[in-house]
Structure 1
Amino acid sequence: MAKSNNWTKEQTIVAFNVYCKIPFKNSSKTNPLIIKYANIIGRSPSALNMKVGNFGRLDPELKKQGIVGLGNGSKLDEVVWNEFQGNWEKLAYESELLIAEFQNKKIEEIIDDLIFEFPIGTERETIIKQRVNQSFFRSTILSSYNLQCCITGLSISDFLVASHIKPWKVDEVNRLNPHNGLCLNSIHDKAFDKGFITVTPDYKIKVSKCFDDFKKDEAVPDFFLKYDNQSIILPDRFLPSKEFLDWHYTNLFKR
C-alpha cells in the first residue's frame, strides 16, 4: 500500500486511465476493474472509485447530462486532466507504461498479443506501442458506449469493435481520439468501414442504396434496412465528432 495518503501524479494518471476504461455509471468500489487497478497502484478500491468520480466532475460532457461527479477533487486531478485531455496518444502509452511499472514489469508483459514473435529493436518497440494504443482506444470506446453496439444495442463484448470514423491511415493525429470512435458490432463495423452505412452529424444512421439490389436476401432488411434513419445510441462521454462524421458521410459513404 502507499505510504502516504496523498495521491502521487503517477497514481492519478493511472486513475485517469481507469476513468476512460470503465463506464462511469458502473464505477464502484466493488467493480472488478476498480479493485484490479487499486491493488496495482496501492490504493483502496474506495479511494480509486472516488478518484474516478473526481475526474467525472471535470468532464463537460457528463455535466451536460446532469452528471456532476464528486466534489472536492484535488488540484492534481485538474493538472492531470488538463495535461492529458485531448492528448490521447500520450495518455494511452504513458498510463499503460506506469501500470506496468507499478507491477515491476515491462510494458510488453501486460499485453495479451504474442509480441515475442516480432523482431527485437525499433520495429518491436513500434509494434508494442501500437498494440498498447489500440487496446486503450478499444477500452475507452466500449466503456463510453456502456459495452453495447450504438446501432443494435448488442452487448456481447466479444462481438464489439471500436470502429474509427476517420480511418487510421487517413488521420494519424486522431487515431486515439475517442471522439473519432463508434462502438459497433463486427458486421456493422465492416459495413461502416466500407461505406455501406454511415452516421450523419445529427447521429442518424444512413444505409446505402447499394443494398437495394439485395432486398431479397432476408438478412439485408434485418441487419441493415430497418436501421435506416434511426438514431444511434449515444455514449455517456466522448460524443462522436460531428466533423469526423461529416467526413465519413462525404468521403466514404456509398450513396
Structure 2
Amino acid sequence: MASRRRWTYDELLVVLNLYHKLRFGQFDQRQPVIIDLAERLGRTPSSVAMKLSNLASLDPALKLRGINGLKGASQLDRDVWDEFHANPAELVPLSQERFDALFVDAQSETTEVIPGIGIRPASKPPTGETETTRLTKQRRGQGYFRDAVLNNYDNRCGLTGLPVRELLIASHILPWRDHVAERLNVRNGIALNRLHDAAFDQGLISFDEDLRMLLSGRLRDYLPHDAVKLSFEAHQGNELLLASDATPPEQNFLARHRAFFGFP
C-alpha cells in the first residue's frame, strides 16, 4: 500500500469533505471512519489522519481557539481549501460525489459518516427541509450538512441528549430556502430531535447568547399541559450540549432567528 505518493486534487476533496464531518479531537488513525476512508483511498490511516491535521493548520476557526494543526500543508492543500470555502455551493456536492463513489455504486445513493462506527451507505435519503430533493446535487449537499451537524453534536439531540440518529434532524437556523450562502455552513446547524426541530422551525423555541433554550409565548399559552411541560418547559434555560472541541452555532444566526420570531 503506497502511503508516500503525492495527494491528488480529488483525494484532497474527499479528505476535506471528511474534515468537516469530524471534530479536531477525532483526527486519530484509530478512528473507524478514518480507517474506512484510508482503505478506499489505498492509503494508511496514519497518512489520512496526518492530512486532516495538515488541513487543520489552514482553519481560521481553529486558530481562534489556539489550535494550530500540523505544519506541512502543501500548496495544493491550500489551493483546494481556498477553492472549497470560496465556492461551497459547487464544491461541497462535488466532494460528496467523490466521497460517495468510494463506498456506493448507484449515483443516487449517498453515505453516512458515523464516528466510532465507520462509513456506511445511508439507509434512505437525508431528511430535512430541501427545495429540490429530486436533484442529486441538492441531496448530496443535504447529506453532507446532516453528517457535519449531527457529528458536531456527537450524534445526539443538542437539547435532550437523545442518541437515536434516525430521530435526529440537522436543523437550519437560517432557513434553507432563504439563505443560499449558509445552506451548508455547519454553524448554521443544530442537531435536534424531530419534535424540537419542528418547534425551532416554527419559532416556538429558540436559543439565547449563552445557547440556553428559550420558550415562546405561544407555547406558554399551553401550560400547564403535561405534554408541554415535559417536552418543553422542562428544558427551558438548558444549554445546548456541545463537546469541548465542537463548532458552536453562529451567534448572529441565532440573533436573527430570535428577532424574526419576536423573542425578547
TM range (shorter): 0.7 to 0.9
Q: Is the contact made by 1:96 and 1:107 (CA closer than 8 Å) also made in structure 2?
A: no
**Corresponding residue SS for 1:183:** strand
Equivalent residue letter for 1:206:
L
Q: 1:60 to 1:93 in 2, by over 3 A?
A: same
- Deviation at residue 149 of structure 1 after TM alignment: 2.1
**Corresponding residue SS for 1:162:** strand
Q: Which residue of 2 aligns with 1:33?
A: 33
**Deviates most, 75-84 or 22-31:** 22-31
Q: 1:73 to 1:110 in 2, by over 3 A?
A: same
Corresponding residue to 2:252 among 227, 237, 243? 243
| Alpha-carbon distance in structure 2 between the residues aligned to 1:225 and 1:18 | 37
How many residues of Structure 1 are paired with residues of Structure 2 in the alignment?
247
Q: Is the contact made by 2:104 and 2:110 (CA closer than 8 Å) also made in structure 1?
A: no
| Alpha-carbon distance in structure 1 between the residues aligned to 2:3 and 2:236 | 57
Q: Which residue of 1 aligns with 2:165?
A: 157
Q: Is the contact made by 2:84 and 2:92 (CA closer than 8 Å) also made in structure 1?
A: no
Q: Is the contact made by 1:196 and 1:254 (CA closer than 8 Å) also made in structure 2?
A: no
| Alpha-carbon distance in structure 2 between the residues aligned to 1:3 and 1:227 | 49
Structure 2 regions of 5+ residues with no counterpart?
A: 112-121, 126-131
Q: 1:251 to 1:18 in 2, by over 3 A?
A: same
Q: Over aligned residue pairs, what C-alpha RMSD do you find?
A: 2.8
Give me the identity figure in percent. Answer: 34
Equivalent residue letter for 1:45:
P
Structure 2 length-normalised TM: 0.81
**Corresponding residue SS for 1:85:** helix
Q: 1:229 to 1:23 in 2, by over 3 A?
A: same
Counterparts of 1:118-157 in structure 2, within 5 Å, are 127-157=135-165
**Deviates most, 131-140 or 64-73:** 64-73
Deviations 1:198-229 (A, max 9, x none): 12344332111222233232232232123323
Q: 1:101 to 1:205 in 2, by over 3 A?
A: closer
**Corresponding residue SS for 2:190:** strand
Q: Is the contact made by 1:12 and 1:77 (CA closer than 8 Å) also made in structure 2?
A: yes
**Corresponding residue SS for 1:107:** coil
**Corresponding residue SS for 1:230:** coil
Q: Is the contact made by 2:97 and 2:140 (CA closer than 8 Å) also made in structure 1?
A: no
Counterparts of 1:1-255 in structure 2, within 5 Å, are 5-85=5-85, 87-101=87-101, 105=105, 107-110=107-110, 112=122, 127-234=135-242, 236-252=245-261
Whichever structure has more helix as a proportion of its residues is 1
| Alpha-carbon distance in structure 1 between the residues aligned to 2:37 and 2:183 | 25
Q: Which residue of 2 aligns with 1:118?
A: none
| Alpha-carbon distance in structure 2 between the residues aligned to 1:247 and 1:17 | 28
Equivalent residue letter for 2:261:
L
| Alpha-carbon distance in structure 1 between the residues aligned to 2:136 and 2:70 | 35
